[in-house]
C-alpha cells in the first residue's frame, strides 16, 4: 500500500479533458503561492507560529486534494466525484484558517467551543487522517484513530500501566488542535520552517543543474576504478543526499543513471539495485539536510541543529564506506568492468557545466550555519545563491526556471507537510497520557540494565514500525517512546564503567552512601562487572538521575542524549531497505528490472552500517569526544567495517576459506569494540597481516 501511495502523485489528477489543463494551472499556481508565502513568512513576515502552521497545513491540504485523488481507480476521476473531492480539500483548508482565527475567542470563553469550532475541528482532523492515508498509506491514520479513541474512551476500560482516565471530548478537541505537540504544534512548526525551506532549496539546486553535476562528477571521480559504477552510485547518492534527504527520491533520480551503469559493468541486477537503494538511504544520514530528521531531533532534544549535523559527518562517512566496501568486494568477485572512457565525461567539462551551481550555494549554506545563523536564514540566502550561481553555468535560471523550482519544492513537500502535521495528533496523545515514560520504563525493565539488549529491542520495534510508517514518522514515534530509555541506559553504562574502574568521585559517594550504604567501602577500589551491575540494579531511578548531574558535565549529558536519538534515527532508516516493506529497494528494483524481494534482501545486507554504526554511538565517544578522539574511532571503525563486510560475503580481494573468514570477523569486531587504543593498534596490525597473507593466496581460475 505504501509503495502505491508514494507513486500516486505521479498519476494524472484527472482524465485528459478540457478541465484537466485548468486543474494543472490551479495546482501550479497554488504550489508557487505556497512556496512564496513560506519564503516570505520565514524571511520577512512577522506571522505568529499558529497562523504559519495553520496556513501551512491548510494550503497543503488543498494541494494534496488537487494532486492526489481519493483513489487510484478510474471512478475517483469522475467529474462529480473529483469536484466533491476537491471541495473537501478546500473545506479542510478553510477550516484550518478558521481555527487559527477562532483561538482568541475560545480563550475568551474560558476554553469553551461553539458549534462552528466543533465543525471546523472535526473537518480538520478528518482531513489530516484522510490526506495522510493518501500520501503515506493506512498505518498512520489507524494510529491516529487508535490514539484519539484511547485518550477519550477505551483507555479508561483497560487495566495495568496503560490505563488512562479519558479526557472529555471538548478537552480532547482543544488539545488536539492547539496543544504544544498537537496538529498545529511544534512538529508542524518544524515542517513549516526548516524542512520546507530546505526542500525549496533542494528544488532550486536541481533546477539550476546541480543534480546533473552530481552524477557527472561522481562518474569522473569514481568511474575509472574497479567497481567504478558502484562507487558512482555511492558517491552520487551521498552528494544528492545533501540536497534531498529522501531515500526514495534519491533512488529514483540517481538510480536511472547508476543502475544501468552497474549492470553494464557486470554487477547482478539485484545487487546493482541494492547498492543504489542502500546508498540512497544514506542520503538521509548525510549533512547538512538529513531529511526532516535532524530538524525534528533538534526540536526534541534542544541540541542546536548545527551541532547535530556536525556530529553526523563522520558517522555518515562510515555508512557510505560500508556500502563502498560491499561494492569493492562484489566487483572483485564478479570481475566487474570499469566504465569505458567513452562513458566518462571530462573533468573540465563537468566543472564548467555545473560546479558553480552546486558548490557555491552549498558552501554558502554550510558557512552560514557554522557562523551561527538559523537554518531558515541560511536556506533563504542559499536559494538566492542558486539563482545567482546558475548564471555562471549553461543552466541559467530565469523567471520560468524560478517558477518551476517553486512549484517543484511545494510538490515535493506535500507528503512531508501532511505527515509532520498529522503525526502531531499521535505525539500529543503520547505526551498527554505519559505513554513515552511508561514505554521507556518497559524497555529498561526488559533489558534489565543491558544496553545491548535494549538496542536489539529498539531495532526490532523500528523494523515493525517501518513496515507501515515513513522514516520520519517512525523516528518521531519511536524516538518519543524509546529514546529516553536509551539515554538512561547509556548514562548507566558509563556509571558502571566508573564503578568497575574504582573512579567514583568523592562528591558522588554521598549519594551512594544514602542509597546503598552497605556498598560504600567497595566504591574506593576497582570491582567486578557483576558487583557493579548489582549496585546499579539496587539504585532507584531518582538516585540515578541525581548521580547524572554529579558525575557528568553538561557536554557528556548532551552527548548521551544525542547518541540516544541518533541511534533511533539510524535504526529508523532500515524501513527503506528491509523486507517485506522497503520502498527504496522496490523503487530500485523497478529500475533494474530485478525481483523486488530479492533486491530488498540485497539492499538490507549492503546497508549493514545502519546496525553497526549505532553500536559506536552507544559504546564509544564517536558523538561526544574531541575531534582527535572521534577521528581515531572513525579510522579504526573503517577497517573494522571492511573486515566485517568481507566476513559476511566470504570474499575479500579473493575468496576466503572458513578459517580466514572467522579470523577477519574477529579482527573486525575487535576494531569496532570499545577497547584501549593499544588493543585497536594490535587488531589493526592483525588486519594488515591477514590482508597481506590473503593477497598472496592464488585466486582460483574462473571457468
Q: Given a cut of 60, is residue 15 above it in pLDDT?
A: no
pTM of the model: 0.80
Burial of 75 (0-12, 13-18, 19+ CB in 10 A): exposed
What tens digit of pLDDT does each residue of 682-702 get? 999 999 999 998 888 755 544
Provide CB contacts within 8 A for 376, sequence distance 6+. 42, 43, 193, 194, 197
8 Å CB contact between 164 and 155: yes
Q: In this predicted structure, what is the pLDDT of residue 442?
A: 82
Beta bridge partners of 651: 655
What tens digit of pLDDT does each residue of 415-465 get? 889 988 998 899 888 888 888 777 777 887 888 778 899 999 888 888 777
Sole residue written with cell 558525575: 551
d(CA 496, CA 512): 13
d(CA 637, CA 613): 9
Provide CB contacts within 8 A for 384, sequence distance 6+. none
Q: In this predicted structure, what is the pLDDT of residue 678?
A: 94
Q: In this predicted structure, what is the pLDDT of residue 244?
A: 64
Q: Given a cut of 90, is residue 617 above it in pLDDT?
A: yes
Closest by CA position to 95, among listed 58, 59, 60 = 58
- Cα 532 to its chain centre, rounded Å, is 36
Closest by CA position to 81, among listed 162, 13, 156 = 13
Q: In this predicted structure, what is the pLDDT of residue 362?
A: 86
**89: three-class secondary structure by DSSP:** helix
Name the band, by pLDDT with cuts 50, 70 and 90, for residue 226: low
**How many CB atoms are closer than 10 A to CB 356?**
23
What tens digit of pLDDT does each residue of 371-400 get? 888 888 888 999 999 999 999 888 899 999
d(CA 400, CA 451): 55
Q: In this predicted structure, what is the pLDDT of residue 703?
A: 40
Q: Given a cut of 50, is residue 5 above it in pLDDT?
A: no
**651: three-class secondary structure by DSSP:** strand
**686: three-class secondary structure by DSSP:** helix
Helices and strands, counts by H and E, the chain: 31, 0
d(CA 96, CA 63): 14
Average pLDDT for the chain: 85
For residue 369, give the C-alpha cell. 550555519
What tens digit of pLDDT does each residue of 270-322 get? 999 999 889 888 888 888 777 777 888 988 899 998 899 889 999 999 999 99
Q: Given a cut of 50, is residue 46 above it in pLDDT?
A: yes
Q: What angle is formed at CA 677 by the lines to CA 675 and CA 683, rounded to 5 degrees?
A: 80
Amino acid at each position: 500500500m505504501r509503495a502505491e501511495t508514494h507513486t500516486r502523485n505521479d498519476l494524472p489528477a484527472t482524465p485528459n479533458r478540457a478541465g484537466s489543463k485548468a486543474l494543472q494551472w490551479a495546482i501550479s499556481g497554488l504550489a508557487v503561492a505556497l512556496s512564496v508565502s513560506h519564503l516570505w513568512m520565514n524571511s520577512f513576515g512577522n506571522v505568529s507560529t499558529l497562523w504559519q502552521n495553520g496556513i501551512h497545513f491548510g494550503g497543503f491540504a488543498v494541494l494534496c486534494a488537487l494532486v492526489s485523488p481519493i483513489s487510484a481507480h478510474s471512478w475517483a476521476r469522475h467529474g462529480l466525484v473529483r469536484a466533491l473531492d476537491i471541495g473537501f480539500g478546500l473545506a479542510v483548508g478553510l477550516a484550518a484558517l478558521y481555527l487559527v482565527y477562532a483561538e482568541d475567542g475560545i480563550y475568551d470563553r474560558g476554553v469553551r467551543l461553539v458549534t462552528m469550532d466543533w465543525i471546523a475541528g472535526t473537518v480538520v482532523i478528518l482531513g489530516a487522517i484522510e490526506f495522510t492515508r493518501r500520501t503515506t498509506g493506512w498505518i498512520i491514520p489507524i494510529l491516529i484513530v487508535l490514539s484519539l479513541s484511547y485518550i477519550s474512551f477505551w483507555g479508561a476500560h483497560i487495566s495495568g500501566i496503560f490505563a488512562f482516565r479519558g479526557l472529555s471530548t471538548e478537552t480532547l478537541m482543544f488539545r488536539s488542535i492547539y496543544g504544544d505537540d498537537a496538529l498545529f504544534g511544534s512538529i508542524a512548526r518544524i515542517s513549516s520552517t526548516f524542512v520546507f525551506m530546505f526542500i525549496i532549496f533542494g528544488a532550486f539546486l536541481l533546477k539550476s543543474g546541480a543534480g546533473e553535476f552530481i552524477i557527472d562528477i561522481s562518474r569522473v571521480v569514481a568511474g575509472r576504478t574497479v567497481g567504478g559504477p558502484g562507487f558512482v552510485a555511492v558517491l552520487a547518492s551521498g552528494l544528492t543526499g545533501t540536497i534531498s534527504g529522501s531515500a526514495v527520491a534519491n533512488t529514483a533520480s540517481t538510480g536511472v543513471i547508476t543502475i544501468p551503469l552497474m549492470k553494464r559493468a557486470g554487477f547482478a541486477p539485484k545487487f546493482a539495485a541494492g547498492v543504489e537503494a542502500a546508498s540512497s538511504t544514506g542520503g538521509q544520514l548525510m549533512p547538512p539536510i538529513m531529511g526532516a530528521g535532524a530538524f525534528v531531533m533538534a526540536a526534541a532534544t534542544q541540541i542546536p541543529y548545527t551541532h547535530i549535523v556536525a556530529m553526523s559527518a563522520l558517522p555518515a562517512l562510515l555508512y557510505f564506506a560500508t556500502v563502498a566496501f560491499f561494492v569493492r568486494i562484489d566487483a572483485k568477485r564478479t570481475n566487474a568492468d570499469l566504465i569505458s572512457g567513452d562513458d566518462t565525461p571530462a573533468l573540465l567539462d563537468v566543472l564548467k557545466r555545473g560546479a558553480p551551481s552546486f558548490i557555491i550555494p552549498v558552501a554558502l549554506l554550510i558557512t552560514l550555519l557554522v557562523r551561527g545563523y538559523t537554518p531558515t536564514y541560511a536556506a533563504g540566502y542559499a536559494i538566492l545563491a542558486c539563482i545567482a550561481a546558475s548564471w555562471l553555468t549553461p543552466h541559467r535560471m530565469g523567471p520560468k526556471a524560478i517558477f518551476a523550482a517553486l512549484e517543484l519544492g511545494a510538490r515535493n513537500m506535500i507528503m512531508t507537510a501532511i505527515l509532520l502535521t498529522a503525526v502531531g495528533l499521535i505525539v500529543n496523545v503520547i505526551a498527554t497520557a505519559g505513554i513515552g515514560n511508561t514505554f521507556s520504563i518497559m524497555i529498561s525493565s526488559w533489558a534489565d540494565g543491558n544496553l545491548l539488549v535494549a538496542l536489539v529491542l529498539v531495532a526490532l520495534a523500528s523494523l515493525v514500525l517501518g513496515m507501515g510508517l515513513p522514516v520520519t514518522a517512525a523516528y518521531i514515534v519511536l524516538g518519543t517512546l524509546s529514546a529516553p530509555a536509551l539515554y538512561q541506559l547509556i548514562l548507566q553504562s558509563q556509571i558502571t564503567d566508573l564503578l568497575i574502574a574504582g573512579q567514583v568521585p568523592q562528591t558522588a559517594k554521598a549519594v551512594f552512601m544514602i542509597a546503598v550504604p552497605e556498598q560504600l567501602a567497595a566504591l574506593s577500589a576497582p570491582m567486578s562487572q557483576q558487583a557493579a551491575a548489582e549496585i546499579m540494579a539496587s539504585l532507584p531511578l531518582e538516585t540515578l538521575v541525581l548521580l547524572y548531574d554529579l558525575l557528568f558535565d553538561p557536554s557528556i549529558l548532551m552527548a548521551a542524549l544525542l547518541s540516544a536519538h541518533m541511534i533511533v534515527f539510524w535504526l529508523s532508516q532500515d524501513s527503506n531497505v528491509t523486507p517485506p516493506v522497503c520502498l527504496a529497494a522496490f523503487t530500485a528494483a523497478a529500475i533494474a528490472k530485478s525481483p523486488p524481494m530479492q533486491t530488498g534482501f540485497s539492499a538490507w545486507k549492503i546497508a549493514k552500517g545502519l546496525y553497526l554504526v549505532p553500536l559506536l554511538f552507544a559504546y564509544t565517544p564517536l558523538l561526544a569526544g574531541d575531534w582527535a578522539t572521534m577521528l581515531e574511532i572513525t579510522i579504526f571503525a573503517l577497517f573494522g567495517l571492511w573486515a566485517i563486510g568481507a566476513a559476511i560475503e566470504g570474499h575479500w580481494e579473493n575468496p576466503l576459506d572458513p578459517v580466514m573468514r572467522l579470523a577477519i570477523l574477529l579482527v573486525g569486531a575487535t576494531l569496532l569494540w570499545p577497547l584501549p587504543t593499544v588493543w585497536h593498534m594490535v587488531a589493526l596490525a592483525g588486519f594488515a597481516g591477514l590482508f597481506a597473507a590473503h593477497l598472496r593466496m592464488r585466486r582460483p581460475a574462473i571457468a
